Each structure stands twice: as structure tokens, then as C-alpha cells.
């Protein structure tokens, strides 16, 4: 049996009267149904395989899993192996282990296939089955599930900043490629801060050195052989960061972080809706679902980008605060007053 394969023998078929037990390749082996359902927090799923025909002799068949929208290692553990039917046995079972996660996800699915039959044939229509993995976690995670059960009063106890953090974890851990795009966006956003810092330093250099004709010592700090050459070099250095900022903006547009998040939320909501029962689907007004898919999902995707913009602004404040303190150490009091006020505000709002 291949590594990671699992199968469990269950109730064997009843023994009939003594007959010729020679292998019969006319028997069919197939799954008992085309679709199985398993909840994410269940430890494993039991899948039944049945044998149809004379049941004489021994028959074997291989099985293996295949990724669909559910991925091995994230929603389930890959499994493969061989199932053996002994003489007069008509049913066997295999077990597929599921992966539990506190993060919200849509209803995803993977497939299980039968192949390489020996002493039998694989059924034409049930040689493969689909497994739907049902996630019952609330959006964006189950961390505050107990508070949600308390109704409106419980919802009021959830801190907004903590809820935003859970949403961030969902986006980075659940959406493929968002972690890399987020890191790249944070780095590219610093190009703008580097441009501002470069311009500030060059402006100070122009005032203190290039245009400071009254100080003889300033000539020793000139970049070129003359003030005119130094001014040309400064002009080039002032323009270079702008080119880098435009390149960074183009790369961010190509990555389309917001678009990928928006598409993930739209697909997830639509998958959830399609997997509702008829009763549940009738209880959700179509207008509400349309608003969630078109407008609210876009707002949620935009909020992720707004946090990245806030991080870039915070880095900018740190850079300019450091520059200010280096020039005027007494400004430390006013610089510390600003983050303290912001921290107090977020504490009161949350």
C-alpha cells in the first residue's frame, strides 16, 4: 500500500452456498454514491466501495485522491492505496482524513478515483466520486463564534481591531498568492517614502552646500567640481526617485491585489449560495445576495488595501520623526504625543 493510504474493512457479505470460487472478472467495483459530504471539523470521512456480481474469488482495486477546489494539506490529507475484496465480500471502506481550520472558507471539493482493477472491472459511472468539504465557521474565523451565539449583545463585545486582524489572517492564509502580493506591496510602498526622504535630504544639501556661497567649507562638500555641476547632479537625483515610484505603481497595478481579493470573496459567496439547501436559499433574498457579491465584497477587498496604505503612512511618520529628532532633539515631546493620541483613539473606538 502506498504511503498515506488508508482503508478499513467493514461488514463482509454473507456467505452463500458452496460454489465455484474461481475469480470472475465480470464483477464491477464502484463507489456507492457519486457525492459525499464531510464537515471540516470531522476527523475523517468514510467512503464506501461496493462490489457487484457473483462475488467469487478475490478482487482488488486501487484508489487515489485528486485536488479540486479543495487542496491536499489544506482541506484534506492526500490518500492512496489498494482495497481488497475477498471471496463473498461485497463492501469495503476507505477513510480520508480532513484538515480542520478556524478560518472561514467556502464549500470546496476534491475527487477520489478507482483504478487498476484486478479480478474485476471498474464501474463506468461511479469509478470516481466527489467529496464536498463543508465549512461551518463564521466569517472571517470561528474565534468569536461563542460571542456570535449570544446575538447582538455578543457582537458588541467583539473588538473591531481584533476582527480586522482575523480578516487579515483569512486573506493571507486562505487566498493563494495574497501573502506574496502583500509583502511586495509593502516593499513597493516604501519607494514613495524613499522618494520623499531623498527629496528632503537633497533640499537640505542644496541650501547648506550648493547655494551656500558664504561658507568656504561648503565647497569641499560639492559633488562635482563646481556648484553648477553639483546642481545638475542634484536635479538628476531629484528626478530618479519619481521614475522608481512610477515603476512601483505599475507593478502594483499588474499584481492587482484588490482584484484578487475581490474575486476570491465573490467566488466564495457564490459557492456558499449554490450549496445552500432549497429552504436556506429561499430564506436569503436575492437582492441581499447580489449586494453582498457586487458591493460589499468590493468594500471588504478595498479595506485590506487601506490597511497597507496605513502601514506606509506609519513608516513615513517614523522616517520623518527620526529626521526631525536628529535636527531638533527637543521635538521628541511633540512626536511622542501624536502616536499616544492615536493609540488612545483606537482604544476608545474599539
Per-residue pLDDT tens digits for 67-114: 999 999 999 999 999 999 999 999 999 999 999 888 898 999 999 999
Strand order in the sheet with 91-97: 91-97, 44-52, 28-31, 121-122
Residue 16 scores a pLDDT above 80: no
d(CA 14, CA 19): 14
Task: Check: CB of residue 27 under 8 Å from CB of residue 86.
Answer: no
- Max Cα separation, the chain? 117
pLDDT band at 3 (very low <50, low <70, confident <90, very high): very low
> Full-prediction pTM beyond 0.85?
no
How much is the pLDDT for 2? Answer: 39
Residue 38 scores a pLDDT above 90: yes
d(CA 110, CA 129): 9
Within 8 A by CB and 6+ apart from 218, the residues are: 208, 209, 212
Task: Check: CB of residue 100 under 8 Å from CB of residue 41.
Answer: yes
d(CA 100, CA 300): 25
Residue closest to 254 by CA, chosen among 264, 265, 246, 266: 246
d(CA 110, CA 296): 29
- The separation between CA 67 and the C-alpha centre of its own chain, rounded to angstroms, equals 16
One DSSP character per residue, 159-217 reads -HHHHHHHHHHHHHHHSTTHHHHHHHHHHHHHHHHHHHHHHHHHHHHIIIIIS-TT-GG
Please state the rounded mean pLDDT for residues 146-170. 87
d(CA 23, CA 26): 9
How much is the pLDDT for 11? Answer: 37
Residue closest to 46 by CA, chosen among 115, 94, 98, 100: 94
Amino acid at each position: 500500500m502506498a504511503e498515506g493510504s488508508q482503508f478499513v474493512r467493514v461488514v463482509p457479505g454473507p456467505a452463500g452456498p458452496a460454489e465455484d470460487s474461481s475469480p470472475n472478472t465480470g464483477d464491477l467495483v464502484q463507489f456507492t454514491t457519486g457525492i459525499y459530504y464531510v464537515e471540516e471539523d470531522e476527523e475523517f470521512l468514510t467512503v464506501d466501495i461496493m462490489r457487484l456480481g457473483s462475488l467469487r474469488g478475490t478482487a482488488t482495486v486501487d484508489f487515489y485522491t485528486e485536488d479540486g477546489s479543495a487542496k491536499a494539506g489544506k482541506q484534506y490529507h492526500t490518500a492512496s492505496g489498494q482495497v481488497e475484496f475477498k471471496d463473498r465480500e461485497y463492501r469495503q471502506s476507505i477513510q480520508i482524513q480532513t484538515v480542520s481550520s478556524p478560518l472561514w472558507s467556502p464549500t470546496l471539493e476534491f475527487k477520489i478515483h478507482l483504478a487498476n482493477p484486478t479480478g474485476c472491472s471498474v464501474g463506468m459511472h461511479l469509478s470516481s466520486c466527489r467529496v464536498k468539504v463543508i465549512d461551518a465557521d463564521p466569517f472571517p474565523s470561528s474565534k468569536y463564534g461563542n460571542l456570535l451565539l449570544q446575538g447582538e449583545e455578543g457582537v458588541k463585545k467583539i473588538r473591531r481591531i481584533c476582527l480586522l486582524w482575523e480578516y487579515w489572517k483569512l486573506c493571507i492564509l486562505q487566498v493563494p498568492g495574497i501573502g506574496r502580493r502583500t509583502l511586495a506591496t509593502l516593499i513597493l510602498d516604501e519607494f514613495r517614502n524613499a522618494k520623499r526622504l531623498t527629496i528632503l535630504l537633497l533640499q537640505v544639501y542644496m541650501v547648506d552646500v550648493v547655494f551656500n556661497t558664504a561658507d568656504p567649507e561648503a565647497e569641499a562638500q560639492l559633488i562635482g567640481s563646481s556648484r553648477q555641476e553639483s546642481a545638475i547632479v542634484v536635479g538628476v537625483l531629484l528626478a530618479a526617485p519619481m521614475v522608481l515610484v512610477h515603476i512601483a505603481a505599475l507593478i502594483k497595478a499588474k499584481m492587482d491585489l484588490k482584484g484578487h481579493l475581490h474575486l476570491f470573496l465573490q467566488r466564495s459567496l457564490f459557492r456558499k449560495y449554490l450549496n445552500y439547501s432549497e429552504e436556506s436559499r429561499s430564506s436569503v433574498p436575492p437582492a441581499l445576495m447580489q449586494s453582498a457579491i457586487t458591493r460589499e465584497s468590493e468594500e471588504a477587498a478595498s479595506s485590506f488595501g487601506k490597511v497597507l496604505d496605513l502601514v506606509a503612512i506609519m513608516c513615513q511618520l517614523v522616517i520623518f520623526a527620526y529626521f526631525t529628532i536628529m535636527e531638533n532633539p527637543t521635538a521628541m515631546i511633540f512626536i511622542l504625543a501624536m502616536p499616544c493620541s492615536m493609540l488612545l483613539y483606537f482604544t476608545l473606538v474599539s
